[in-house]
Amino acid sequence: MRPDLDTWILDLDNTLYPADSALAAQLTHGILSTVAGFYGTDLIGARRIQAELVAQYGTSLRGAMITRAIDPHEFLGFERRIDYSVLTPDATLATALQALPGRRFVYTNGSVYHAEQALDRLGLTTHFDGVFDILAGDLIPKPYPESLDAFLTRFAIDPTRAAMVDDLEVNLTLPHERGMTTVWMSGEPFADGTPYRRIASRRWHAWDLPALLRSMVAPADI
């Protein structure tokens, strides 16, 4: 086990459940439909606008608030129409999370509501000590430093004793610079079948999250 790690930070979407999940497809459709409605366009136009908003402002929500002065709760209304029953309990991941020493947090660019619904369906609610969402970060998303600073302050986290897992490599650059051990989650298995690999010191790339977490509490350090 790594004795220097006592805080575990995990993204939600495409990390605690896979990118090919039916929930991910619903999220994409919900965001595009919302953008289409606010900007008066069809889904094709919404996809272009959404990509521009993410590129310039980090998330569709933040971009819509800046360019259209849209209320964030109104924008996030699509989450109430999502069918979260497409997710099922993940006992393997639950066991791996439970074995981690110290505290565990979800750090997401989504909302607390979305996180709570997904965690409940995955059977992971009791395995986390807190959720930090886009609203808690004053609508400033990962990978901006204001978001990370607010998260670390909220939960009094020492980044040198923390590991962070995210499916977007860009979200891990600043945490690694702050001293975190980082894990980039890939949606595809590696060709050689290994569940994870080391990229550099305190940097890992993985596609099998439970296997990686189990290795972190194994007798030998990774």
Q: What is the distance in angstroms between the CA of the first residue and the CA of the last residue of the chain?
A: 8
Q: Which residues of 88-123 are buried (b: 16+ CB within 10 A; e: fewer)?
A: eebeebbebbeebeebbbbbbbbbbbbbebbbebbe
Q: Would you state the pLDDT for residue 219?
A: 63
Cα 38 from Cα 33, distance rounded (Å): 9
- pLDDT tens for the chain, 222 residues long, are 466 899 999 999 999 998 889 999 999 999 999 999 999 999 999 999 999 999 898 889 888 888 888 888 889 899 999 999 999 999 999 999 999 999 999 999 999 999 999 999 999 999 999 999 999 999 899 999 999 999 999 999 999 999 999 999 999 999 999 999 999 998 777 888 889 998 998 999 999 999 999 988 876 544
Which pLDDT does position 2 carry in this prediction? 61
The answer to whether the beta carbons of residues 23 and 86 sit under 8 Å apart is yes
* Strand 130-132 versus strand 203-206 pairing type: unpaired
DSSP 8-state assignment for residue 36: H
Which is it for strands 103-107 and 7-10: parallel, antiparallel or unpaired? parallel
DSSP-H helix ranges across the chain? 22-39, 43-57, 60-68, 72-75, 91-98, 112-122, 145-154, 173-177, 209-216
The 3-state DSSP class for residue 55 equals helix
Give the model's pLDDT for residue 71.
Answer: 87
Distances (CA, A) of 154 to 101, 136, 147, 150, 151: 20, 9, 11, 6, 5
What does R_g of the chain's alpha carbons equal in angstroms?
17
- Among 52, 74, 57, which Cα is nearest to 141's? 57
